[in-house]
Amino acid sequence: MTEALTHTTAATSGDNTAIPASPDAPSVTASAADIEAAVHAIADRSKQAARRMARANRAWKDRGLRAIAAALQERKGLILSANAKDVAAGKASGTSAALLDRLTLTEARITGLVDALDNLANLPDPVGNVVRGQTLPNGLRLRQVNVPMGVVAAIYEARPNVTVDIAGLALKSGNAVILRGGTAAAATNEALVHVLREALDSVGLPSDAVQTVDQYGREGANALMRARGRVDVLIPRGGRELIQSVVTNAAVPVIETGEGNVHIFIDESAGEEMAVDILLNAKTQRPSVCNTVETLLVHSRSTVLPAVAAALRAAGVRLHVDERVRAALPSSVESEPASDVDWGTEYMDLDLAVAMVDSLDDAVKHIRTWSTGHTEAILTNNLANAERFIAEIDSAAVIVNASTRFTDGGELGLGAEVGISTQKLHARGPMGLTELTTTKWIVQGEGQVRG
């Protein structure tokens, strides 16, 4: 670290201390132009903070992450109280059970966030990592190294855990972050951002490395999407409507994260016990998240369908099946007819579409038709089938003989994730620390000139 960062010690406060009003809070008469100017001011402060974060060494950034982890534990009561308000409002407005699950924080989930921050602190710093290098015949020494993106913005909905995950990843990778967490989690996100900013200030890192535009509502999100030159990359995370709105309307660079119409194919060689265990985990462990299986494809010569279907029904899963599956199920297993709508639906609930196929080719064809490119899995004891599935399925994650729930930054050793990218440029799959960096070339010479 070549230059000391200004250290302003934040005043300590108890668990029940009220969160001070944001200095950027708009007046009730704020115009779109006023809001755009305020969001631009936030982005400009983020850019200044990003320059300071880019100079912070690993030890300093890790102190910031551990300070945030400690603050989350210390202010747990404040955070849970704010979250209870959001959950109560969600229930009163008829929010679905799946959305309420994503919205809800518990002591255990806060502990999970704390553990993820500790894991991040233990991971290597991606900044400065040499991607490649060489010495040219003329003596020029070349290095391509990872550097921070700068100002990372995120728009997401009803997922307060994302507030902490994205902030932690952005800070470790030397970035500043601007958050738009949505109305449904407004109270929770306000509490979390306040706690994060205090923690950063307590260790001398710029509190403006974490900011929010939630106080400006939807117009604030629109202004953030238009802040070209002030925001280096924007990451949407949520359902199809939110993601497509961002991709369609943003004037800033976007990394597209996708919905998860996730498939599992059981071929004729897969064993019953493994199939039952994996399907139960992939569908019922947490059905409201994007790596949950939504469609099951079963080979017509497989013998495991009755046991798998019975286990899923016993766990409360509603089965939407084609005619061949319906004919193969025992009368004791309830189901309902499936349509094309089911094959294209990301339920994010205890629903599963089930189809029968006659070959691996048919399974691949179905997946290519309906997949969103997130995660697909095959259950098989046939090595050739596994290798063909890996080669022919074009999704961000392809899994053999394991639950689709492993498509997750934390589970794959990334510490946490900003989201799961289903595009093919720059980042694909779970996006961790390295995916929040870009590269630059460093060229060192001794007076060489081009001939």
240 and 348, same domain (yes or no)? no
Lowest mean pLDDT among 7-21, 49-63, 186-200, 384-398: 7-21
54 and 174, same domain (yes or no)? yes
Could you count the other beta carbons within 10 Å of the beta carbon of residue 282? 25
Classify residue 19: in a domain, yes or no: no
Q: What is the pLDDT of residues 100-128, one digit of tens each?
A: 988 999 999 999 999 999 999 999 999 99
Handedness of CA 4, 8, 14, 18 (dihedral sign): negative
Q: Is the pLDDT of residue 397 over 90?
A: yes
CA distance 47 to 50: 5
Classify residue 235: in a domain, yes or no: yes
Determine the pLDDT at residue 85.
Answer: 97
With a pLDDT cut of 90, the percent of the chain lying above it is 80
Looking up residue 312, the CATH number of its domain turns out to be 3.40.309.10
Task: Give me the number of domains the chain comprises.
Answer: 2
Determine the pLDDT at residue 19.
Answer: 58
Q: What is the pLDDT of residues 84-101, one digit of tens each?
A: 999 999 999 998 887 898
Band (pLDDT 50/70/90 cuts) for residue 3 is very low
Query: How large is the average pLDDT for residues 305-318?
Result: 97
Q: What is the pTM of this model?
A: 0.81
Determine the pLDDT at residue 4.
Answer: 38
Which of the 8 DSSP states describes residue 163?
H
Determine the pLDDT at residue 97.
Answer: 84
43 and 179, same domain (yes or no)? yes
Determine the pLDDT at residue 26.
Answer: 52
Q: End of a domain among 206, 237, 257?
A: 257
241 and 287, same domain (yes or no)? no
Q: Is the pLDDT of residue 9 over 50?
A: no
Q: At what angle do helices 305-314 and 272-284 cross, to 10 degrees?
A: 30
Determine the pLDDT at residue 20.
Answer: 55
Q: Is the pLDDT of residue 22 over 60?
A: no
Query: How large is the average pLDDT for residues 239-256?
Result: 88
304 and 251, same domain (yes or no)? no
324 and 295, same domain (yes or no)? yes
61 and 210, same domain (yes or no)? yes
Determine the pLDDT at residue 380.
Answer: 98
Determine the pLDDT at residue 231.
Answer: 97
Determine the pLDDT at residue 6.
Answer: 36
Query: How large is the average pLDDT for residues 381-400?
Result: 97
Band (pLDDT 50/70/90 cuts) for residue 158 is confident
Classify residue 448: in a domain, yes or no: no
Classify residue 422: in a domain, yes or no: no
Classify residue 6: in a domain, yes or no: no
Query: How large is the average pLDDT for residues 227-243?
Result: 90
Nearest CA among 424, 426, 418, 435 for reference residue 177: 418
Classify residue 440: in a domain, yes or no: no
| N residues, the chain | 451
Q: What is the pLDDT of residues 336-374, one digit of tens each?
A: 999 999 999 999 899 999 999 999 999 999 999 999 999
Q: What is the pLDDT of residues 131-140, one digit of tens each?
A: 999 999 999 9
Q: What are the Cα distances from residue 287, in Å, to 84, 201, 206, 276, 290?
A: 21, 38, 38, 16, 8
Nearest CA among 238, 273, 285, 274 for reference residue 257: 238
Classify residue 163: in a domain, yes or no: yes
Q: Is the pLDDT of residue 57 over 60?
A: yes
247 and 369, same domain (yes or no)? no
> Between residues 27 and 338, which one has the greater pLDDT?
338
Q: End of a domain among 224, 257, 290?
A: 257
Classify residue 444: in a domain, yes or no: no
Cβ contacts of residue 361 below 8 Å, gap of 6+? none
> Between residues 313 and 430, which one has the greater pLDDT?
313
Query: How large is the average pLDDT for residues 144-156?
Result: 96
Q: Is 269 helix (H, G, I), strand (E, B) or coil?
A: coil
Q: End of a domain among 222, 257, 292?
A: 257
77 and 219, same domain (yes or no)? yes
Determine the pLDDT at residue 242.
Answer: 86
129 and 233, same domain (yes or no)? yes
Looking up residue 152, the CATH number of its domain turns out to be 3.40.605.10
Q: Which domain holds residue 139?
A: 32-257
Q: What is the pLDDT of residues 198-221, one digit of tens each?
A: 999 999 999 999 999 999 999 999
53 and 186, same domain (yes or no)? yes
Nearest CA among 260, 263, 234 for reference residue 363: 263
CA distance 10 to 164: 20
312 and 185, same domain (yes or no)? no
